[in-house]
Structure 1
Amino acid sequence: MATMDIDSSSPLAGNKGKGKQLMPGDKDNLPWVEKYRPEKLEDLVSHEDITSTIETFIDANRLPHLLFYGPPGTGKTSTILACARKLYGPNHKSMVLELNASDDRGIDVVREQIKNFASTRKIFSSGFKLIVLDEADSMTSAAQAALRRVIEKYTKNVRFCIICNYVSKIIPAIQSRCTRFRFAPLEMDQVEARLDHIIQEENVNITQDGKEALLRLSNGDMRRALNILQACHAAFDRIDDTAIYTCTGHPHPKDIQRIMDTMMNDDFTTAYSTVDKLKRENGLALQDIISELIFYFEMLEVPTHATVYLLAAVADIEYRLSCGATEKVQLGALIGTFKMATDIAARN
């Protein structure tokens, strides 16, 4: 039987009644990711099909358990927080338990915090409460198994929103209890429209090539785009493409083009010393160089089977780097791969 929750000072009652309230001026000190986080569903820049479906659920008072999955920075957390404000109004904290499963991912959290919150009902509220589990793909299998039973048992009191990047890491029993929504990477024009608004609000001095570099590096991740923009705004008076690449430590396209030219045209020793020098002088990681080289492969004027060989070999090098292989050895393997590809192309 559900118990009555009447203690507003309880830790499970959110931040109500304790701590300092955020004053209007304090918002200027927030990271831009939080300062410009959408507060309403209509403020979200994308996924209109998802938000309209959830609004229909809320209006009909038939919100199911939700499972949001997709790449980082695509609006999953912002969407559910906007839903909480629509459900409960501005003072929604006491009705929402928000946990980051990367930190609180053990079975004890499910048995104590989540179960205690789910088993109680507000004395003056007949509706359900909301539990948001962010980064749930970090939860242990035992914790997910325990959560499965909690979801089933306390449906009258609470709704769950489970957020993750990789849905394959959520056990099927939990997936089947939730309505799933996939958040795809944002389109470039959607990211650009939001960036233009923030650039104007913050008086950011950014050039057109700087904005293009920022959009390219964001790769559909709004959080990444805002973090890079704020860091560059703090470090540079004028933000151009060089400032963007310098601030992020990402290889500049001019450097990548130079690396491509030396690997394709120079002998092995010259190419190795040139690339190694570029890496040391600019502080570049081989992993980042490889991820940028992929975009140039389609422009190579070599036979198709040589390109296929190149892609397969570079994929192996990238895998070995992710497993902790030495960069010096893998740099030699990368240059050797290009030499083999040019030999294959020359024989045909």
Structure 2
Amino acid sequence: MSKKPAVKKPVVPAMFTKNPPSTTNKDTETMKENIPKPDRLVPWVEKYRPKKVSDVAYQDEVVAVLTKCLAGSDFPNLLFYGPPGTGKTSTILAAAHELFGPQLFRDRVMELNSSDERGINVIREKVKKFAQFSVIATRTDGVYCPPFKLIILDECDSMTKAAQAALRRTMERESKTTRFCLICNYISRIIDPITSRCAKFRFKPLSSSIIEQRLQAICNNENVQCETEAIVELVKCTEGDMRKAVTFLQSVARFRTNVTITADDVHEITGVIPDTVIESLYQVCHSSSYEKLATTVKNVLLEGYAAHQLLLQLHEYILSQMALGNEQKAIIFEKAAIVDGCLLDGADEYLQMMDFLCTVMHQLCRS
């Protein structure tokens, strides 16, 4: 009898066997170390936020006063007000880090955005409970720590009057254990009893040279190639808002990777309308043709330009026109204010722009 040919058994990988080879903890740790960790993407606004009060740019008076407050034990209630993006929140956060250190920062500091939580219940519950706890003046690193907590209320000009009245009472009762820092854009919206209990500091809009220097330093650190004209356009578009300038710079850097950033790239990201479009609209108003104006406005809006941005740039362009008299400009700008309010209320962009440009056309025909 002939022998049956031997059948080879298929080789099963070790990972699919019932008893796979055991791996030691050292092997597991080695495998984890060899896996490359992805870089954590951090917004440049947070990455380059000032870490110390002395790093805050262009606010010399505020920095000088806060430095003396940090050196001594006298730390009053603070009220920061000024345009957005001038360093109000960054300044108080840097001061809090210097006061309490990284260990006690979370326990000693409460930060609330009043535009989201602005009712009287938040003041009665969150703020009042946090302010009532007492603390001791010790830090783990041995540095002196003041015996009070800090409550930061951002955008407090959007708080209701009742909430501000309740906050005033809390500031009086808990003055021994808690300090308050109120941050707002418009100090006129804060009630007088609160402003009289705080040391007020006005934050000035940052100068163009300061923003240009900071943007150039960020470009050098991030290895971003950017033309000088592009940085100038960024500063011009942001109007002294450092936060907006840094955000736009990061956006355009992600948009144009490994390529030198130009002024046209900045216009593409920021949504600024080219001057040629503004001039063409103004020239159409000279033609006194309603049909031609309607077609031009529709084409401009179909390009994706925002009506609010279009209105702002038309305002600046008409203001520089010497051929129009003061009375004509007053009539045009009064209509611009009405149209701007309607756009904020959600009105149709095409109809509002036609209403504004028809007024411009009527005044140009008069002249």
Q: Would you say same fold, with TM above 0.5? A: yes
Q: Quickly say closer, same or farther: Cα 1:110–1:316, change in 2 above 3 A.
A: closer
Aligned with residue 83 of structure 1, among 65, 81, 95: 95
Q: Quickly say closer, same or farther: Cα 1:26–1:278, change in 2 above 3 A.
A: same
Aligned residue number for residue 339 of structure 1:
361
Aligned residue number for residue 14 of structure 1:
none
Deviates more, 1:88-97 or 1:132-141: 88-97
Aligned with residue 66 of structure 2, among 46, 54, 57: 54
Q: Deviations over 1:227-281 (max 9, x none)?
A: 111111111234222222222333223322222222234622212211221220x
1:122 partner SS: coil
Q: Quickly say closer, same or farther: Cα 1:104–1:26, change in 2 above 3 A.
A: farther
Q: Percent identity?
A: 38
Aligned residue number for residue 311 of structure 2:
290
Aligned with residue 228 of structure 1, among 248, 268, 271: 248
Q: C-alpha separation between the residues in 1 aligned to 2:111 and 2:249?
A: 28
Task: Indicate the RMSD between aligned Cα atoms, in angstroms.
Answer: 2.0
Letter aligned with residue 307 of structure 1: K
Contact 1:32/1:226 (CA < 8 Å) preserved in 2? yes
2:248 partner SS: helix
Within a 5 Å distance, the mapping from 1:34-73 to structure 2 comes to: 34-73=46-85
Letter aligned with residue 263 of structure 2: D
Q: C-alpha separation between the residues in 2 aligned to 1:325 and 1:264?
A: 26
Q: Deviations over 1:108-153 (max 9, x none)?
A: 3222221122111224546221111111122232222211111001
Correspondence 1:276 to 2:288: no
Aligned residue number for residue 198 of structure 1:
218
Q: C-alpha separation between the residues in 1 aligned to 2:324 and 2:163?
A: 52
Q: C-alpha separation between the residues in 2 aligned to 1:45 and 1:213?
A: 20
Aligned residue number for residue 29 of structure 1:
41
Question: TM-score, structure 1 length as denominator?
Answer: 0.86
1:177 partner SS: coil
Aligned with residue 111 of structure 1, among 118, 124, 140: 124
Letter aligned with residue 270 of structure 1: K
TM-aligned CA deviation for residue 77 of structure 1: 0.3
Q: C-alpha separation between the residues in 1 aligned to 2:135 and 2:183?
A: 25
Within a 5 Å distance, the mapping from 1:158-177 to structure 2 comes to: 158-177=178-197
Q: Deviations over 1:23-50 (max 9, x none)?
A: xx99852100000000111111111111
Contact 2:297/2:354 (CA < 8 Å) preserved in 1? no
Q: C-alpha separation between the residues in 2 aligned to 1:112 and 1:274?
A: 56
Mark the runs of 5 or more structure 1 residues left unpaired by the alignment.
1-24
Aligned residue number for residue 26 of structure 2:
none
Q: Deviations over 1:309-346 (max 9, x none)?
A: 2222222222222233222222221221121111232x
Contact 2:151/2:178 (CA < 8 Å) preserved in 1? yes
2:197 partner SS: coil
Within a 5 Å distance, the mapping from 1:287-326 to structure 2 comes to: 287-300=308-321, 301-326=323-348
Q: C-alpha separation between the residues in 2 aligned to 1:261 and 1:198?
A: 41
Question: TM-score, structure 2 length as denominator?
Answer: 0.82
Letter aligned with residue 218 of structure 1: T
Contact 1:97/1:130 (CA < 8 Å) preserved in 2? yes
Mark the runs of 5 or more structure 2 residues left unpaired by the alignment.
1-36, 139-145
Correspondence 1:330 to 2:330: no
Q: Quickly say closer, same or farther: Cα 1:210–1:124, change in 2 above 3 A.
A: closer
Aligned residue number for residue 151 of structure 2:
131
2:134 partner SS: strand
Q: C-alpha separation between the residues in 2 aligned to 1:47 and 1:221?
A: 14
Q: Quickly say closer, same or farther: Cα 1:335–1:103, change in 2 above 3 A.
A: closer
Correspondence 1:249 to 2:250: no
Deviates more, 1:333-342 or 1:308-317: 308-317
Q: C-alpha separation between the residues in 1 aligned to 2:196 and 2:39?
A: 40
TM-aligned CA deviation for residue 184 of structure 1: 2.2
TM-aligned CA deviation for residue 56 of structure 1: 1.9
Q: C-alpha separation between the residues in 1 aligned to 2:242 and 2:50?
A: 12
Q: C-alpha separation between the residues in 1 aligned to 2:167 and 2:285?
A: 53
Correspondence 1:184 to 2:204: yes
Q: C-alpha separation between the residues in 1 aligned to 2:342 and 2:97?
A: 46
Bigger Rg, structure 1 or 2: 2
1:29 partner SS: coil
Q: C-alpha separation between the residues in 1 aligned to 2:290 and 2:345?
A: 25
2:151 partner SS: strand
